[in-house]
Structure 1
Amino acid sequence: MSTVIALPARARAHLNATDLHLSRGGQPVLTGVDLTVSPGDRLGVVGENGRGKTTLLQVLAGTLAPDSGSVHRAGTLGVADQEMPIGGDRTVGELIDLELAQVRAVLRAFESATLALVEERPGAEQAYADALAAAESISAWDADRRVDISLAALGAVDDRTRPLAELSVGQRYRIRLACLLGAGHDLLLLDEPTNHLDAGGLDHLTARLREHQGGVVLVSHDRALLADIVTAVLDLDPTSDGRPRTYGGGYAGYREGHRAERERWESEYRDQQSERQRLAQDLSAAQNRLSTGWRPEKGTGKHTRATRAPALVRAVHRRQEELQAHVVDVPKPPSRFQMPRLDAPQGATLLRADEVMVHGRIPSPRSVLLRAGDRLVVTGPNGCGKSSLLAVLAGTLAPDTGTVQRKRGARVGVLAQESPPPSRRRAFEVYDAAMGRLVSSGELDEAERLGLTQLGLLPSGAAHRPVSELSVGQQRRLDLAVLLGARPHLLLLDEPTNHLSMALVEELTQALAATGAAVVLATHDRQLLRDTATWPRLHL
């Protein structure tokens, strides 16, 4: 049950959740979540894709009721979901008005209270004082200016007459984020706010969140943002006892605590499995002795045979009881990502682009030469043409000038920024169909074909669910599985860290550094840029 307490004073902003449980489709999503956020707290929420991070934000926002547990909020609330519908013929200005509706209501209430004071209505003085306090608590008169500052800093469209349908997903998201940063809410619930932001936008978001005086709950896989702002981390990943963990000490405290937790879990699981194996071997040995070893040599008396057999039977029963009594109560730790072997002909030129341009998208001529094992990072602000350049290299966008040559038979794999519209087909069916087409066309040898779960990207349960029922992050993992399952010689990755968990990003980064394929990254991810600092750069 959720209770909303309307208290505008930011100093009294408060969010508390107690023992939240929620299941979907018979599967537990949230299990015993507890959290408290007070003014000045910035709580990071992390976990593998599909662990319920977005669901938790919906419960905290009051848009989804938990099966059990309670949520209590004090203060005004601003929410940024990962996905944002266009909303018919709505314009940029209408979206801004919608996001600032609470500010507009506070200002209207102040104007009414002012008029009542001028007209000397009964109780007008107290009503005016209350309305003034509410407006001052969120700096309501300054909200539009703050939004304009954030629109500029985030590189968002500020033409209020522009229809939202004409804008990209990233543009619409940046407008909404600018409104949330400018509205002066007491509590902010943000789901992957760094998606679609360039370096300047990331710096602005980081600064605004650090100076926010209310409370923040931040779902993010952006390691740099978490390191810069969070004061504590709630980890929804599976644990040995099935309950989530909260780590103090910011992101550094979480990393240290999570690593120690995982090592303890794996050690306890190995110990219990080893003990069970030992008991099973003891039972097997006792059974062997019962079937063969109890028979004494010829000439031995009947009395010896009669007394040895019961003792061996008792030993077998004892071993059986010990094995049955041994309970493996530590679940198996989650599997890790397994990068398939990607090779390309050594020394071969896989792709060469000379002086390519696309009017309005790649305004300056660009050249790229890629051989087997080459690495390249494409950087630059939003709108500079990074995605367009990758599309030209992939062959899905023809350049207006310049040429692109690809080695005959070279397999080029592309990971787009966003997943395609989800279908009702199950994840493994989508994957198998993609691999089947490659095998049928001769592009992929049957011997190279891997099963979906072999990659460690989706567990069996998720692999057998319709894609439309998967989380955004799980859909992204499916995209990555289809890409890697095709065994490309050249990988073109557009913002590859979008929606992926931190653990997977770290494993993927290490794998990309070691693969024999050529790799091109287009990214704003600050930590990924640090991790690939030795790779050649192409700045657009």
Structure 2
Amino acid sequence: MTILSFHSVSKSYGDHQILEQVSFAVHSGNRAALVGANGAGKSTILRLIMNLEEPDEGEVSLINGITIGYLPQTLKTSESISIRQYIYDAQKELHVLQRRMNELTDIMTTAKGTELTASLAEYSRVSSRFEQRGGYDIEYRTRLVMEGLGIGNLHEERRLSTLSGGQQTRVGLAALLIETPDLLLLDEPTNHLDAQALNWLENYLSEYPGTVLMSSHDRQFLNRTVNLIIEVDDYKHKCTEYSGNYDSYKASKRKELLKWEEDYNRQQEEMTQLRERMSERGRQVNHNRPPTDNDKFAKHFFRGRVQNAISKKVRDAETKLERLQNSQIPVPPKPLAFHLRFYPESQQEEMAMHVSEVSKSYDGKNPVFCCIELSVEVGSRLLITGPNGSGKSTLLHILAGQMVPDTGTVHLAEGIKVGYLEQGTQSTRHGSASFGAAKTVIEAYRFDRTGYEEDLIAELLASNLFRQEEIHKPLLALSPGQFRKLQLARLLSSGANLLIIDEPTNHLSPELMDQLEEALRQFSGPVIVVSHDRRFIEQFEGTEYRLHEGKLTRIP
């Protein structure tokens, strides 16, 4: 049964097209995920379903009578509402059903005949719906969900406005899961969840009794929870459905790309052959060997017949070539793993970096970390993990030379050039710390670099991270994902031979994450990475260090 469908839906904001003639369907029981780059339109699709926005064209259809629960990326609540009241308000239908059951119970105590029969029939329908929505175990489910999401210790009378953004998101998610709507819409539900809460949510959603449609960049989460992938293509502004989880989607994409490349190469070869045939026939028309006798009539007659036959073949080839050119297959995109390469400059020493007795505090009293010792060999891979607030980003700032430690030294070997991809996007977008006075994509890309603008534009386009129409786009108009791609493009072209990367997969689409990981594997210099991405950590080939309680410890 189709519970949700898009029929030729288009949506744009000013001159920026987001969706164009998009059609897809979600069936009852599906656990579906929207995947695509930031700004591709995933959140827009969820808002269209919730009727928070109107499509420019087309229709969004929902089956009649279903309940919908929606979790946006940022929760908007009343300043005074408490956790208990917020969760209670999310169960409106359950409260309506329970009140009606109580009313019918009272009616049936005195009703007779047809009135009693009708009341019994309605009570059966209402109680079945109440049971289906989990009304009989609401208290148990509330405790289960709150504990599972790591917010069971919050006092129920505490106001939501006093919670952190991450805690608010968890409360919002908890309220939806307790409510158990028929259609659950989640926009990046894994944001602000630690490993324990993620594992719990994966198990919970895998057995969810309703239908789920979510947007997520977490590849492992998608693998463990969904059975349908809906790709939102930010180039074509279309949606394509793929059955299965994220790995199944990746396999299908590889097959599609292979067929695309084969079809493109076949068409290019055919067009080349047609051009060669036209050229050869043209030469034959102009260089026909004349008859050996002096019969002028025969000479012109036979020459004319040959020229007409050759001209017809040339015209036929021209027609076919024109037809192929009018329906020319686009050049297949080159995967970032093959197109984007780090070009490290030569390294002369075996030890690229040595860190000795490094300490840092912000108040001069309580150190974030102290006495950090670290040796980075040429070609080594170092992964730094640790809880939020442990100082991982601060340590990378110091290693990259962006911050001075309170004590200790960071020594770079001769010839080492550091490339640094910092975690933040918002601060650098509105400040000028990274790109000076740059206001557009190309100005930011060429900041502090030499070379002709035309060459740098060609270089940026060759990275396959930006399109021609985005080159002069204002920085302030970039989404977090687009800004992250700009940072990445600069890193890839920096010629660095030591990479320091803070949360490399933040704000990137799952497909781009995969390709970035492959590019990093092919990089010949040392890499120091901080990451919370479980799939990235699982596939990382190198040495793990954990920063916790001010100490950096190597994990055996």
Question: Which residue of 137, 151, 176 corresponds with 2:172?
Answer: 176
Matched, 1:235 2:231: yes
* Offset of residue 283 of structure 1: 1.8
Matched, 1:188 2:149: no
Instruction: Give the match for residue 542 of structure 2.
Output: 535
Percent identity of paired positions between Structure 1 and Structure 2: 27
Instruction: Give the match for residue 391 of structure 1.
Output: 397
Residues 457-536 of structure 1 mapped to structure 2, 5 A cutoff: 457-532=465-540, 534-536=541-543
Q: Distance in 2 between matches of 1:478 and 1:184?
A: 40
Instruction: Give the match for residue 274 of structure 2.
Output: 279
Would the aligned equivalents of 2:36 and 2:231 in 1 still touch at CA under 8 Å?
Answer: yes
Question: Does the residue aligned with 1:152 lie in a helix, a strand or coil?
Answer: coil
Matched, 1:452 2:460: yes
Q: Distance in 1 between matches of 2:227 and 2:292?
A: 79
* Offset of residue 406 of structure 1: 4.8
Matched, 1:254 2:257: no
Deviations 1:378-400 (A, max 9, x none): 12333433333323433445555
Instruction: Give the match for residue 375 of structure 1.
Output: 381
Structure 1 262/351 Cα, relative in aligned 2: closer, same or farther at 3 Å?
same
Question: Does the residue aligned with 1:439 lie in a helix, a strand or coil?
Answer: coil
Instruction: Give the match for residue 5 of structure 1.
Output: none
Instruction: Give the match for residue 318 of structure 2.
Output: 320
Residues 274-313 of structure 1 mapped to structure 2, 5 A cutoff: 274-290=269-285, 292-294=286-288, 296=290, 302=296, 303-304=298-299, 306-307=303-304, 308-313=306-311
Structure 1 residue identity aligned to 2:208: H
- Structure 1: unaligned runs, 5 residues or longer: 1-11
Q: Distance in 2 between matches of 1:199 and 1:116?
A: 46
Structure 1 window deviating more from structure 2 (229-238 vs 95-104): it is 95-104
Would the aligned equivalents of 2:359 and 2:407 in 1 still touch at CA under 8 Å?
Answer: yes
Q: Distance in 2 between matches of 1:45 and 1:141?
A: 32
Question: Does the residue aligned with 2:447 lie in a helix, a strand or coil?
Answer: helix
* Offset of residue 193 of structure 1: 2.5
Q: Distance in 2 between matches of 1:353 and 1:297?
A: 93
**TM-score (norm. length: structure 2):** 0.76
Structure 2 residue identity aligned to 1:293: H
Deviations 1:343-369 (A, max 9, x none): 152435345253434466835654333
Question: Does the residue aligned with 1:438 lie in a helix, a strand or coil?
Answer: coil
Would the aligned equivalents of 2:357 and 2:370 in 1 still touch at CA under 8 Å?
Answer: no
Instruction: Give the match for residue 222 of structure 1.
Output: 218
Instruction: Give the match for residue 442 of structure 2.
Output: 432
Structure 1 window deviating more from structure 2 (206-215 vs 125-134): it is 125-134
Q: Distance in 2 between matches of 1:526 and 1:172?
A: 23
Would the aligned equivalents of 1:16 and 1:71 in 2 still touch at CA under 8 Å?
Answer: yes
Structure 2 residue identity aligned to 1:284: S
Structure 1 460/389 Cα, relative in aligned 2: closer, same or farther at 3 Å?
same
Question: Does the residue aligned with 1:69 lie in a helix, a strand or coil?
Answer: strand
Matched, 1:356 2:347: no
Instruction: Give the match for residue 17 of structure 1.
Output: 5
Instruction: Give the match for residue 6 of structure 1.
Output: none
Deviations 1:214-272 (A, max 9, x none): 11112223221222121222234499x99644333444543333322222222122212
Question: Does the residue aligned with 2:91 lie in a helix, a strand or coil?
Answer: helix
Would the aligned equivalents of 1:492 and 1:521 in 2 still touch at CA under 8 Å?
Answer: yes
Question: Does the residue aligned with 1:207 lie in a helix, a strand or coil?
Answer: helix
Structure 1 358/196 Cα, relative in aligned 2: closer, same or farther at 3 Å?
farther
Larger Cα-atom Rg: 2
Would the aligned equivalents of 1:356 and 1:366 in 2 still touch at CA under 8 Å?
Answer: yes
Deviations 1:11-36 (A, max 9, x none): x9x73204242142363624342212
Instruction: Give the match for residue 335 of structure 2.
Output: 336
- Structure 2: unaligned runs, 5 residues or longer: 433-437, 548-556
Q: Distance in 2 between matches of 1:109 and 1:277?
A: 71
Would the aligned equivalents of 2:40 and 2:233 in 1 still touch at CA under 8 Å?
Answer: yes
Instruction: Give the match for residue 51 of structure 2.
Output: 62
Structure 1 162/397 Cα, relative in aligned 2: closer, same or farther at 3 Å?
farther
Q: Distance in 1 between matches of 2:26 and 2:445?
A: 46
* Offset of residue 377 of structure 1: 1.0
Instruction: Give the match for residue 27 of structure 2.
Output: 37
Instruction: Give the match for residue 206 of structure 1.
Output: 202
* Offset of residue 509 of structure 1: 0.7
Question: How many residues are matched?
Answer: 515
Structure 1 29/18 Cα, relative in aligned 2: closer, same or farther at 3 Å?
closer
* Offset of residue 52 of structure 1: 2.9
Structure 2 residue identity aligned to 1:262: L
Question: Does the residue aligned with 2:449 lie in a helix, a strand or coil?
Answer: helix
Structure 2 residue identity aligned to 1:434: A
**TM-score (norm. length: structure 1):** 0.78
Question: Does the residue aligned with 2:150 lie in a helix, a strand or coil?
Answer: helix
Q: Distance in 1 between matches of 2:454 and 2:498?
A: 20
Deviations 1:47-89 (A, max 9, x none): 45544333222223332333203320453322233x42677x9
Question: Does the residue aligned with 1:513 lie in a helix, a strand or coil?
Answer: helix
Question: Does the residue aligned with 1:75 lie in a helix, a strand or coil?
Answer: coil
Would the aligned equivalents of 1:15 and 1:72 in 2 still touch at CA under 8 Å?
Answer: yes
Would the aligned equivalents of 1:31 and 1:244 in 2 still touch at CA under 8 Å?
Answer: no
Matched, 1:52 2:58: no
Q: Distance in 2 between matches of 1:439 and 1:18?
A: 46
